Structure 1
Amino acid sequence: MELRHLRYFVAVAREGHITRAAEKLHIQQPPLSQQIRALEREIDAPLFLRHPRGVTLTDAGRCFLADAEAILAQAESAKIRARRTARGEAGRIAVGFTTSAPFHPLVARAIREFRQNRPDISFVLEESSSAELVSALRDERLDIAFIRSGLVDPQGIDVHALLHEETAVAFPARHPLAKRSRVTLKDLADETFILYRRPDGRGLYDVIIAACSAAGFSPHVDQEAPRIVSTLNLVAAGLGITIVPASLSRLPLEGVTYRPLQGKPPLRIPLNLACRRDERSAATLAFIDLVRRLRP
């Protein structure tokens, strides 16, 4: 049984006349009658009662009509959805991000504007480390990822540089340096650092260590945390200080005070967009294009 057989049957049922149905279908009446009889043989039940001036549905025909119309409607809907997906107007985008990435306004703005213009695109969000996100890209579990580092092995992956974000120091609320409006890296030379665990935080970790070295000291790292937000919890507990992307200072946390970090050259943290080099999804490509156009 093919979809055309269902279309033939529905046309005859709606017209109540085989000749008129054949005219609407742009086929000859004899082949249409043959197709209807073949359909009845396949179902093993008469679908129509034949009369001198037309046909009427049998009980089996009325039952079959409801299902046939539903199947044809579903097939048409599937065709429309496929066309819209091919044009990037419908579908799903799986977005990964490191812990700090979604705090930057660029990420939220990109998703918001994309949904406004393409409301039938849904987003699935996943938080993880940069290494795990890139692995998920290669395995096609993610479509794009906002990451804070470059790639050790870029095979098959493109990384688009979006911006370099200023940084802030997170102090325990009663820390003496928290009373200042701004601080420099040299002010932190004697502090105990809490950092995002390497290699998960390779980009952020390495940037901070290199900046401290350029400022003339090697930071004393007493604690490492599995997530960047976890470092803030340890700061709130009074175990040390940490350096975070400035956008993370939007996160209010009791016991933590943020201060902008000054210095020359300024310590900035990259925000990059990673995607598969052979990406073919129209929706994903459109989102990548939007993000790149929105970058500062």
Structure 2
Amino acid sequence: MELRHLRYFLAVADERQFTRAAARLHIQQPPLSQQIQALESEIGFALFTRVARGVELTSAGASFADDARAVLQALDQAVTKGKGIADGRIGSVRIALTSSSAFHPLAPAAIRAFREACPDIAIDLNEINAAEIIERMVSGRVDAAILRKPSDTPEELRFDLLLEESMVLVLPVGHRLLQGRGKSGRIRPIALDALADEAFIFVRRPGARGMYADFIDACEAAGFTPRVATEVPRMLSAINLVAAGTGVTIVPASMQRYQQESVVYCPMDSDEAITAPLHLVTRRDAGNPAAVRFAQTMLEFARARQV
């Protein structure tokens, strides 16, 4: 039995006449009659009875018509769904973000736009550290990610720069370097060599330079190597430790909304300013159209910010 046999049968069932059904199907009446006879022979029961002006469905034919319609409807739905998945309009995408990338307004704005544009794509969103993001992407457990500057860049992954933003120092309230603040409340930029005696809190995998590589290089150019008090997996943890008096850290400027009552965010001297990148990470062999569509949304948002 072929699907066209079901369509031929339903056309006759709807029209109750072979002539009108043939015209609807754009075929001749004799071939249509032959196809219906072949179908009846295959299924083993009569579908129609002859009446004065055409045909009527038998009881078995009426039941068969209901099921045939359901089959064709299910097939149409399957085709529509398949096309939606292939076009990246239906499906699911697993997205991972680091805590600092989640703080930048670009990330939530782009994800919201993607959700509004593609309501039939389910989003599985997780906040994890950069090292774990890379591991999950390599193993195929994450489709796309937004992070700063990874310490590892496997060949199977693609890294697209979305933007750069300034880095700022994070000092606890009352820190000695804040004593020169004027009545206006403005913080004077701090030179790197003033940080030579500070204990730093870095967000990175132990032993890996990660996104702090440029900062470490700048410190060494200023005549000292930063003394690392501790390393933590997330920037929010680093800021909390600064608030507790454990040391100082450096974060992207978009993190300044956090812990404002306990820490002070300070710009660095303009000649020594460090920037923080924001990257979109995808698999080069991306087989998930929904992930490809999400990546396109992120890149479009990033380009719009640069105009």
Aligned to 2:265: 259
Aligned to 1:133: 133
Report the Cα offset of residue 120 of structure 1: 4.6
Q: Taking every aligned residue pair, what percent have the same amino acid on both sides?
A: 45
AA in 1 matched with 2:300: L
Residue 300 of structure 2, aligned match among 285, 290, 296: 290
Matched, 1:236 2:243: yes
Matched, 1:275 2:285: no
Q: TM-score, normalised by structure 1?
A: 0.80
In 2, the alpha carbon distance for the partners of 1:146 and 1:45 equals 62
Report the Cα offset of residue 92 of structure 1: 4.0
The question of whether the paired residues in 2 share the 8 Å contact of 1:130 and 1:201 is answered with no
Aligned to 2:184: none
Equivalence map 1:164-203=2 (5 Å) = 164-177=164-177, 180=181, 181-184=187-190, 185-198=192-205, 202-203=209-210
Give unpaired runs (5+ residues) of structure 2: 182-186
Give unpaired runs (5+ residues) of structure 1: none
Equivalence map 1:1-296=2 (5 Å) = 1-40=1-40, 42-149=42-149, 152-177=152-177, 180=181, 181-184=187-190, 185-198=192-205, 202-250=209-257, 252-253=258-259, 256-263=262-269, 264-279=271-286, 281=289, 283-284=293-294, 286-287=296-297, 289-296=299-306
Q: CA RMSD in A?
A: 3.3
In 2, the alpha carbon distance for the partners of 1:218 and 1:200 equals 14
Q: Secondary structure at the match of 1:64?
A: helix
In 1, the alpha carbon distance for the partners of 2:137 and 2:236 equals 24
In 2, the alpha carbon distance for the partners of 1:70 and 1:154 equals 48
In 1, the alpha carbon distance for the partners of 2:245 and 2:44 equals 80
The question of whether the paired residues in 2 share the 8 Å contact of 1:198 and 1:205 is answered with no
In 2, the alpha carbon distance for the partners of 1:45 and 1:173 equals 88
The question of whether the paired residues in 2 share the 8 Å contact of 1:246 and 1:260 is answered with no
In 2, the alpha carbon distance for the partners of 1:284 and 1:123 equals 10
AA in 1 matched with 2:23: E
